[in-house]
Structure 1
Amino acid sequence: MQIPDHDQVNPYSESANDPEIRDLNADNVVLCQNGKENQLGIIIEVQRERDRRKSFSWPAYQVNIRHRINAPVVLIVICPKAATADWAAEAIETGHPGFTFRPLVLGPRNYPKYTEPSGDGTLADHMVLGTLIHEHSEDIPQLFKTTNKELSWLPPERAARYAEYMLGQLSEKPRTILEALMKQETYPYQSKLLTDREARGEARGEARGIAKALLGVIETRELPISESQRRRIEDCTDIAQLRAWVKRAVLAPSVADIIG
């Protein structure tokens, strides 16, 4: 191990907690279990452009979730652009000897395009993932048609969840193409998707209202609030959690005491 040049050595806090309460939120996390025993955590990130901060946050996601679930954890990065995929696949040197972090990367060069349905829905998850990875491809309209056909063989509730995931993860241009396709053609899961989206829209609206009220209380009490704390409040969609924070905000001495 080589120690870099330095001109002083100072004591530092022994606590591994983050004193600034910076949010570390991955895009999606899936937990594989056997009964109640955790077997594997899978972190899924959608990365469209380079972001040097990810070289610090990605290893933190893996380490923190591994510590929480007491099981192995892998991080998969989905990159719609080949150049971004090449960058994301680069090794991240954490500084500890032997601890080199290498994300698992799926991009246009190493993930297939599914242009033919399976006939029974068994490729639905592969195809949904493919629409995200190949969203910039000129073949994307055909990929959407094939994927929607594949989803038609699934139970409506499951198919609606897949469709909602696509609509939520796609960038604006391909999402517009998919929405136009859904208006032109009829699929068995569409009524379920519409009902779910309306319900979620109402819940998001209520959450935004409570978050705004909470920020108003904080402002009225003139409590200092960091940008990350403000973002955490604005991004929260858990109505019960937001209401609990509002109750704390009346007497809590700081924003950290409100949101924990």
Structure 2
Amino acid sequence: MPSQQHEALIELFRHRPALATELLTGPLGIPIPAYQQIHLDSGELPDLIPTEYRADAVITLLRGDHPVLSVVIEVQLRPDGRKRRSWPVYLTTLHARSGCPVMLLVVCADGRTATWCANPITIGHPGWILTPLVVGPHRIPAVTDPVQAGDNPELAVLSALSHGAHPDRDKILHALVSGLNTIDRDHAALYADVVLAALPQAARHHLEALMISSTYEYQSDFARRYFGQGKAEGIAEGRTEGKAEGEATALLAVLAARGIDVSDAARQRITGCTDTDQLETWIRRATTAASINDILD
């Protein structure tokens, strides 16, 4: 059964088909023909063969009504010899169906799998060798600009998944939250869950703090399990009562989630603070601090 990470990565392309062209022309440097439209096509490829084959996703570029390029999108999370044998079938079947050039774009979440997927596939017929176009973590750009993330939230998700230990990790996660604010709640929750599950612990705590303190309403089941139903709802209510009060509520939620003891004096200091910049500074410290003193002093 496909994992949540697998399904979420496919959904990036279903939700934004142009992501495929951006990866082809950007990290991979592959030229593509001029086109006027792009749409998601059927991933079912049983046309010419008795056994049904289904690609993760297919996008087609059109000039007018004529297809000029079809791209098979495959998400591969681990080596699987059977999938490599199916990829040539996907391309030849799609080529017969569309009548236009076709490409195979494989997206991997880890470098080892990306290296494995990039190996040429020798079919046996002289000169017929398929070399998959593979995008792994090392080819995904680090998106640190909130404006860029807002324009392309799906690329921001790939960036956060690929660069959890990057020196600019905090900027990458800030940009991701900005990107999540621009899309519908269901997709934002799905993408956030997958990123949180994949990040190292320190980065995960930092992202949780950002999501609680931002304008993004974190509605996913993961947040409700992690923070507790009542606490998550309390955070949302705090935001509606004022930014400073919401920031204070968010900080206390992060402290509780990390198991950091908060004295009555420290709690009063937090809830009585009206300086949102100071509260945001405390929240950032709370993602890695060992004690309340490390945060407030």
Query: Which of 152, 159, 163 is the matching residue for 2:188?
Result: 163
Q: CA RMSD in A?
A: 3.6
Q: Is the 8 A contact 1:115 1:142 kept in 2?
A: yes
The 3-state SS of whatever aligns with 1:113 is coil
Separation in 2 of the partners of 1:67 and 1:139?
A: 45
Whichever residue aligns with residue 59 of structure 1, its letter is P
Aligned to 1:8: none
Aligned to 1:184: 212
**What TM-score, normalized by structure 2, do the two folds share?**
0.47
Aligned to 1:89: 118
Q: CA deviation at 1:119?
A: 5.8
Aligned to 1:40: 69
Separation in 1 of the partners of 2:157 and 2:81?
A: 28
Separation in 2 of the partners of 1:50 and 1:127?
A: 25
The 3-state SS of whatever aligns with 1:24 is coil
Work out whether 1:55 is the aligned partner of 2:87: no
Query: Which of 45, 61, 64 is the matching residue for 2:93?
Result: 64
Q: CA deviation at 1:168?
A: 8.1
Q: CA deviation at 1:149?
A: 0.7
Work out whether 1:31 is the aligned partner of 2:31: no
Q: CA deviation at 1:162?
A: 5.4
> Going by fraction, where is helix more abundant, 1 or 2?
2
Classify 1:50/1:130 alpha carbon distance in 2 versus 1 (closer, same or farther; 3 Å).
same
Asked which structure has the greater RCO (Cα within 8 Å, sep 6+), the reply is 1
Separation in 1 of the partners of 2:72 and 2:114?
A: 16
Classify 1:120/1:164 alpha carbon distance in 2 versus 1 (closer, same or farther; 3 Å).
closer
Q: Is the 8 A contact 1:81 1:136 kept in 2?
A: no
Separation in 1 of the partners of 2:190 and 2:125?
A: 37
Classify 1:63/1:164 alpha carbon distance in 2 versus 1 (closer, same or farther; 3 Å).
farther
The 3-state SS of whatever aligns with 1:109 is helix
The 3-state SS of whatever aligns with 2:77 is coil
Q: Is the 8 A contact 1:117 1:146 kept in 2?
A: yes
Classify 1:163/1:136 alpha carbon distance in 2 versus 1 (closer, same or farther; 3 Å).
farther
Aligned to 2:232: none
Q: Deviations over 1:99-119 (max 9, x none)?
A: 110111111222222223236
Separation in 2 of the partners of 1:56 and 1:41?
A: 19
Aligned to 1:147: 176
Classify 1:115/1:94 alpha carbon distance in 2 versus 1 (closer, same or farther; 3 Å).
same
Specify every segment of 5 or more residues in structure 2 that has no aligned partner in the other structure, as ranges. 1-46, 221-297
What's the % identity of the aligned pairs? 27
Classify 1:167/1:52 alpha carbon distance in 2 versus 1 (closer, same or farther; 3 Å).
farther
Q: Deviations over 1:50-87 (max 9, x none)?
A: 11112211111112122222222211111121111111
Aligned length: 171
The 3-state SS of whatever aligns with 1:128 is helix
Classify 1:180/1:92 alpha carbon distance in 2 versus 1 (closer, same or farther; 3 Å).
same
Specify every segment of 5 or more residues in structure 1 that has no aligned partner in the other structure, as ranges. 1-14, 195-260
Matches within 5 A, 1:84-123: 84-118=113-147, 121-123=150-152
Whichever residue aligns with residue 184 of structure 1, its letter is I
Aligned to 1:237: none
Classify 1:135/1:120 alpha carbon distance in 2 versus 1 (closer, same or farther; 3 Å).
closer
Q: CA deviation at 1:139?
A: 7.0
Q: CA deviation at 1:171?
A: 8.7
**What TM-score, normalized by structure 1, do the two folds share?**
0.52
Classify 1:30/1:49 alpha carbon distance in 2 versus 1 (closer, same or farther; 3 Å).
same
The 3-state SS of whatever aligns with 1:53 is helix
Whichever residue aligns with residue 163 of structure 1, its letter is A
